[in-house]
Amino acid sequence: RPRRPPPRHHPSPSFTNNASLADSSASNSSIQRHEGGSGHTGLGNSGNTCYLNCILQCLSNTTPLVEYFITGSYVDDLIRGKGELPNAFAALVMDMWLGDCLYIYPDEVKRVLGKMHAAFSDGTQQDAHELLLFFLNILHNDLKKVSTGLDQYSSTLRNAETSVIAKLFQGQLSNVKVCLSCFHKSSQTETFLSLSLPMPPDSRCSIQDCLRLFFKEEILSSSDQPYCSFCGRKRDQSESIQMLKAPDIIIIHLKRFESDDHGNRKLTSTVSFPLEDLDLSQYTTTPSAQHLKYHLYAVVNHTGSLDSGHYTAYCKNPVTQRWHEFNDMKVTDICEQKIQSPATINSFPYSCLQSILALRQLIHV
C-alpha cells in the first residue's frame, strides 16, 4: 500500500494563461506550474495488474489528455448518466501529478473496468493493447458529442461523433482495391485508434520495415479473389492501404504473437525505431502531410511467454523531457539507449510533431 496516504482533495488548478499542456516544451506548462506533482508516481500491483499500470502510465504522460482531465474540462463533455471511468481516471491523474505519494494503487480505475468487463476483474493477466483500446473506447463513449464542424474527411458522415479521444488518437485508413481486368477502383474507409503492424520474419528489423509490410500492395487471386461489380464476377485485384488522415498521436502496436500449424508463439525479433522524426508522409494521401513526423514519448514492454509475463513502460516526462521506466510502483531514470535496445517492445505511441496541430503548438509529448 502507499507509503503515504494519497491526497483526497486537491486545490482547483489555477492558470495564469490558457497555454496548452501540448506545448510541454514551454516553461509555463500547466503541469509544471503545479508545485506538488512530478509525474513520477508509481502504481501498485494488486495482483497481475501490470498490464493496466503500464497503460495508465503511458496515458498519464500524454499531456493534452492529462490537461483535459486535470483542469476539469472533461466535466462539460460528460454524457448524462455516464462518466464512471472518466471520473476515476481524472482522480488518478490528479494524484499522479499533483499528489505527494511515491506510489498509489489505481483501485477505483480497476474496479470500474472490472464492472464494465469481467476479464478485468478476475485477477488474471490480460493483454495491454486490448485494455488500451477498451479504455479509450469507453472514454470516447462517455465524452462524445456531435460534431458541428466537419472536416474534409468526415464531410460524408452525418452526426459525426467526436471526443478528446477522437481528436487526439483517431486516424483514417482507406482500403483500395483495383480490378486487374477492368481497372475499376473501389475503396472503403475506416477509422483507427492504433495501427497493428505485422513483423517480418527477420531476427532484426526496423519499424519502417513493419510499416512497409503493413502498407504493402498485395495481389488477391485464386481463392482470395474478390467480386468485381463491373465485371460481374470474381477477378484478380490489387489491394493497398493508404492513410487518409494521420492522428495527432499515433499508437503503433507490434503483432508479436502469431499462430501457425504448430500453435501459438511469441515473436522475439529486435525492432529498431527512432526516438524522433518517425516519418509517415509516404503512407498518407494528405497533401499537407508532406513532412509528417512523429516523436516517441511512451513504450510498452512485455517480457515473458505467450501465456505469462510482465509489462513495464518507458515514458518521457513532458516537463523535464527525461525518460523513466515504470515498473509498477518502482520508477527509475533510464537512458535513451536502453529504450531502443530491447526485443520486448510491444507498442509505442508517438506524438505528432508536424501535423497541423503541431505546426501551431509544437507538440513534444
State the catalytic residues. 50, 310
Nearest to 344 by CA among 306, 307, 308, 300: 300
Burial (Cβ within 10 Å: 0-12, 13-18, ≥19) of residue 298? buried
Per DSSP, what are the bridge partners of residue 202?
Answer: none
Task: Report d(CA 118, CA 50) in Å as an integer.
Answer: 17
CA 161 to chain centre: 19
Q: What is the b/e burial string over 165-178, where b = at least 16 CB atoms within 10 angstroms of the residue's CB? A: bbbbbbbbbbebbb
Nearest to 311 by CA among 49, 120, 118: 49
CA 355 to chain centre: 17
Task: Report d(CA 219, CA 215) in Å as an integer.
Answer: 13
